[in-house]
Structure 1
């Protein structure tokens, strides 16, 4: 995907972790993903299961960075989600997304997974919100996670920490459908550059 904007942060080629059911990359620089059922990223906490088969399109990044993208989504089932992913390995990663609950509300939130245990910090928003910008800024082992409805005015979701140190992280976008259906999302304006915070 050569048209993704890259800042001066040292990047490697993009690759799929768990390729989706189908995907396209249009002339307007939009990545469209159709998820497979029974896909997710989660480790142990509360639900006592481990899933690491969500679809993610990633590149390896060295040093600090700012990762941003714009998402349009049409969820069908509970927990359908798409957003940003920062990943060291199966047991250490961060994701941010809006998870569909029902026709009334969804959960705008983030999951931080350290040493094989996930947390989930969220707030309820209307399910009528089917577009969102997300941004993750990395400084050392600390991460600032934000969202925006217009790409101009950013709101803080949380500050988080990955306990394991890594000189190189895999970063990019993801989508998954934890239950038995699939859904489609459109992702554009993927930007990876220097952390300006």
Structure 2
């Protein structure tokens, strides 16, 4: 996949869903500190509904893509960050890196009323800069990720109602604790990917 021309967004372009405990600009980066117990999940297997994770969102119309870059420096179970696509509390997609089974995992959750979850271990990504790209075209959101300038990895192709008004942006949460500090280094937008492969 060839990444189309992207345009960097300033951090002020987005609006917060569930503001975090602290937000600070450090040079060009945005350092976000989580509140205790924030998460995004609906029902499946665990039985609970949580819509308390932190997300900085911008409009996400059909024909656009969004990239979120962050440092995957996490230590505790379920510490996580990445990109969130959101229509409402029951319709959303999150993708990024989180700690599970004792190591960083590249994961995605797609929610249409109830959540699912898929994971793949990425131990070599620990402490490195990771970019998650979400691209919306027709009735689909294509999710890709990479560390540094490595080739893009396909994570998920998910259905999203083409008539839905969606927003997308960075997210982070730490369901087991508060005080996770996530360093986001880039938020960018551009045209949707021309093809799936």
For this structure pair, what is the TM-score category when the shorter chain's length is used for normalisation? 0.7 to 0.9
Q: Do residues 76 (structure 1) and 67 (structure 2) align?
A: no
CA shift for structure 1 position 141: 2.0
What is the rounded CA distance, in whole Å, between the counterparts of 1:99 and 1:152 in structure 2?
Answer: 19
Query: Match for 2:142 among 141, 144, 154?
Result: 144
CA shift for structure 1 position 75: 2.0
* Corresponding position of 1:106: 104
Q: Do residues 41 (structure 1) and 40 (structure 2) align?
A: yes
Gaps of 5+ in 2: 1-6
**TM-score, normalised by the number of residues in structure 2:** 0.86
What is the rounded CA distance, in whole Å, between the counterparts of 1:74 and 1:150 in structure 2?
Answer: 14
The question of whether the paired residues in 1 share the 8 Å contact of 2:74 and 2:126 is answered with no
What is the rounded CA distance, in whole Å, between the counterparts of 2:62 and 2:172 in structure 1?
Answer: 25
Q: Do residues 14 (structure 1) and 20 (structure 2) align?
A: no
* Corresponding position of 1:9: none
Quick check: 62-71 or 52-61, which moved more?
62-71
Query: Match for 1:189 among 174, 186, 190?
Result: 186
The question of whether the paired residues in 1 share the 8 Å contact of 2:73 and 2:126 is answered with no
Q: Which runs of 4+ in 1 moved over 3 A?
A: none
* Corresponding position of 2:175: 178
Quick check: 60-69 or 82-91, which moved more?
60-69
* Corresponding position of 1:123: 120
Q: 1:127 to 1:101 in 2, by over 3 A?
A: farther
Q: CA RMSD in A?
A: 2.0
The question of whether the paired residues in 1 share the 8 Å contact of 2:138 and 2:162 is answered with no
What is the rounded CA distance, in whole Å, between the counterparts of 1:150 and 1:13 in structure 2?
Answer: 24
**TM-score, normalised by the number of residues in structure 1:** 0.86
SS of 2:44's partner is coil
CA shift for structure 1 position 151: 3.5
Q: 1:129 to 1:74 in 2, by over 3 A?
A: closer
CA shift for structure 1 position 148: 0.7
Aligned pairs, how many? 185
What is the rounded CA distance, in whole Å, between the counterparts of 2:99 and 2:85 in structure 1?
Answer: 21
Gaps of 5+ in 1: 7-11
